[in-house]
Amino acid sequence: MLIAMAGLPGAGKSSVAGALGRKLAAPVVSVDPIEAAMWRAGVARDQPTGLAAYVVAEAVADGVLGMGQTVIVDAVNAVEAARGQWRSLAARHGVPAVFIEVVCSDPLVHRRRLENRSRGIEGFAEPTWEAVQRLREGFASWADHRLVLDTVTDLSSNVATASGFLSAKA
């Protein structure tokens, strides 16, 4: 299956994706390190590297699904165009697309995590809390069924919840 994460920066997507990927032995394809790699390679910042990173992630995920393996896509997926991209890719492979939205319902905790994390992605400028609020305003409401995980809950409980949800979908 194709598992697509969604949620604002700092909500906890990559943490959940990583833990779930280890549990399922499934590769995680994250858009942020792909975009940072483009910048390191000399692609200018004014180029549409954000969109390009989604397209590259799709190509990588396509290859994984082509080998008959589950893939986890780790991206904000704020808009319907992005979400539709994963639905189409899964449909081309005849596998389910499952969305896991990650939220942090406590704004103080969310902000602290955003501002205190250090991801070590060379060349990647971290978004500010203000930028995350702007993204929140542009975050499209959902039409399709999804699992929502709140990261005020501990990681292992959320991974267990996600595993149960995925078992029902497989």
Ligand X SMILES: Nc1ncnc2c1ncn2[C@@H]1O[C@H](COP(=O)(O)OP(=O)(O)O)[C@@H](O)[C@H]1O
Q: Which residues contact 13 (CB under 8 A, 6 or more apart)?
A: 5, 6, 7, 74, 75, 76, 102
Region of 12 please: left (phi>0), alpha (psi -120 to 50) or beta: left
Instruction: Spell out, one character per residue from 6 to 45, where the chain touches Mg ion: x when CB under 5 A holds, - when not.
Output: -------xx-------------------------------
CA–CA distance, 140 with 60 (Å, rounded to integer):
25
Which one of 6-14, 35-43, 45-53, 139-147 is the stretch in contact with ligand X (CB under 6 A)?
A: 6-14
Residue 13 or 110: the one with the smaller Cβ distance to Mg ion is 13
Among 12, 70, 72, 99, binds ligand X (CB under 6 A): 12
Closest CA to 20 of 147, 120, 124, 118: 147
Cα–Cα distance, 127 to 124 (Å, whole number)? 9
* Share of the chain residues as helix, strand and coil, in percent rounded to the nearest 5: 50, 15, 35
User: Minimum Å distance from CB 56 to ligand X?
Assistant: 18
Told to check if 161 binds ligand X by CB under 6 A, we report no
Query: Of residues 57-116, which lie at the interface with ligand X (CB under 6 A)?
Result: 102, 113
User: Binding string to ligand X for residues 128 to 157, with x set by CB under 6 A, is what?
Assistant: -----------------------x--xx--
13 interacts with ligand X by CB under 6 A: yes
- The footprint of ligand X (CB under 6 A) covers 7, 9-16, 102, 113, 117, 151, 154-155
